[in-house]
Amino acid sequence: MKVKKLAYALGAEVLDVDMTRPLAAGAVAEIRAAWMEHLVVVIRGQDITPEQHIAFSRNFGELELHHNKYNRHADFPELYVVTNKPLDGRPSDTRNVGRQWHSDGAYKLVPSLGSLLYSREIPPVGGDTLFTNMYMAYDTLSPAMQAVLLQLSAINDRGVATNNEHVDASRVAERVKAAPPVVNPVVRTHPETGRKALYVSPNVTTCIEGMTRAESRSLLAFLFEHSVRQEFIFRHHWQVHDMVMWDNRCTMHMAPADYDLTQPRYMVRTTIAGTPLGRLYEGK
Ligand code: SIN
């Protein structure tokens, strides 16, 4: 298996993988090692079935079902459908998913470990996904700022994500009920690499616990801006049948609307379950 770096900060292509067949344990270990080193792994040219997508993903952990049942694939609930194509005759709830930087499941008590997004249809140009390296975001802060952040926790609330604007209010209420606000550390230590990563997400992080809104707003604005400095970013230009897997514990991603929205974009994602991190938020 060859591994080819795709950007300075993160992202590598792994070659010589065939997802139509079960992978040997050695191959899984090689992909996992590349994943831990490069945070985002791209595997191109995989013409696979939903069953094969699911089977490949299970090599990396247990799969979670997306908490929003409306976005699950009708026949394969492990698949979360991200598309601008109407589903069942109504506009897709996921047509504007991911417009803000985020880490999947950062608003849950058990945030998602990783995500594996597969492209079935992509527009002729654009429809990219961007990733940022949150280890780098942490490592490049001053020691004084790092020491402050290590003491802090933040409130993450699914109810504030901008994608909610494109979803029926009743469905947003269902989501927030299923995943009420949580308190998570602002810096998390990756359980596999032992490295520290900044862990605040512009789409859901509303406040630093214990600070006033004004104090918190300034600090979060700085952290959000710092996290997505150009030199921390890898931008993926999709081809049909790409599989891209990312580690939510040390990256954020976003999908800008950088394409003609009348052109179909149809992606399916599996999500690897993580381990408990924070606690429920009990304030108002
Ligand atoms: C997501 O945020 O999981 C979707 C990213 C994308 O559609 O490229």
**Is 91 domain-assigned?**
yes
**Is 283 domain-assigned?**
no
> CA 56, 57, 58, 64 torsion: positive or negative?
negative
Nearest atom in ligand 1 to 238's CA: 8
Contact 215, 208 (CB under 8 A): yes
Q: How many CB atoms lie within 10 A of CB 272?
A: 21
Contact 171, 69 (CB under 8 A): no
**Is 12 domain-assigned?**
yes
**Is 156 domain-assigned?**
yes
Tokens 């292509």, residue located: 13
194-206 residue pLDDT tens: 999 999 999 999 9
Q: What pLDDT does 89 receive?
A: 84
Give the mean model confidence (pLDDT) for residues 35-45. Answer: 98
Q: Whose CA is nearest to atom 1 of ligand 1?
A: 98
Distance of alpha carbon 258 from alpha carbon 253, whole angstroms: 14
Measure CA of the first residue to CA of the last residue in the chain; give whole Å: 51
Question: Shortest CA distance to 120 belongs to which of 261, 241, 278, 209?
Answer: 241
User: In terms of DSSP bridges, do strands 187-189 and 196-198 run parallel, antiparallel, or are they unpaired?
Assistant: antiparallel
Q: What percent of the chain has pLDDT over 90?
A: 82
Q: What pLDDT does 161 receive?
A: 62
Give the mean model confidence (pLDDT) for residues 88-107. Answer: 91
**Is 282 domain-assigned?**
no
Q: What pLDDT does 208 receive?
A: 97
Judged against a pLDDT cut of 70, whether residue 62 lies above it is answered with yes
CB distance 97 to ligand 1 below 6 Å: yes
CATH number for the domain that contains residue 82: 3.60.130.10
**Is 284 domain-assigned?**
no
Give the mean model confidence (pLDDT) for residues 71-100. Answer: 90
151-163 residue pLDDT tens: 999 999 988 766 6
CB distance 81 to ligand 1 below 6 Å: no
What pairs with residue 155 in β-bridges? Answer: 183, 207
Q: How does the average pLDDT of the chain come out, rounded?
A: 93
Q: Does the active-site annotation cover 253?
A: yes
**Total residues belonging to the chain:** 284
Contact 3, 14 (CB under 8 A): yes
Q: What pLDDT does 68 receive?
A: 76
Tokens 């344990």, residue located: 25
Judged against a pLDDT cut of 60, whether residue 164 lies above it is answered with no
Q: How confident is the model at residue 138 (pLDDT cuts 50, 70, 90)?
A: very high
CB distance 244 to ligand 1 below 6 Å: no
Q: What pLDDT does 172 receive?
A: 66
Q: Whose CA is nearest to atom 2 of ligand 1?
A: 98
Number of domains within the chain: 1
CB distance 255 to ligand 1 below 6 Å: yes
DSSP string, 10-78: S-EEE-S--TTSPPPHHHHHHHHHHHHHHSEEEE------HHHHHHHHHTTS-B---S-GGGB-SS-TT
Parent domain of 110: 2-277
Question: Is 8 in a helix, a strand, or coil?
Answer: coil
Q: What pLDDT does 167 receive?
A: 58
Q: What pLDDT does 169 receive?
A: 67
Q: What is the pTM of this model?
A: 0.94
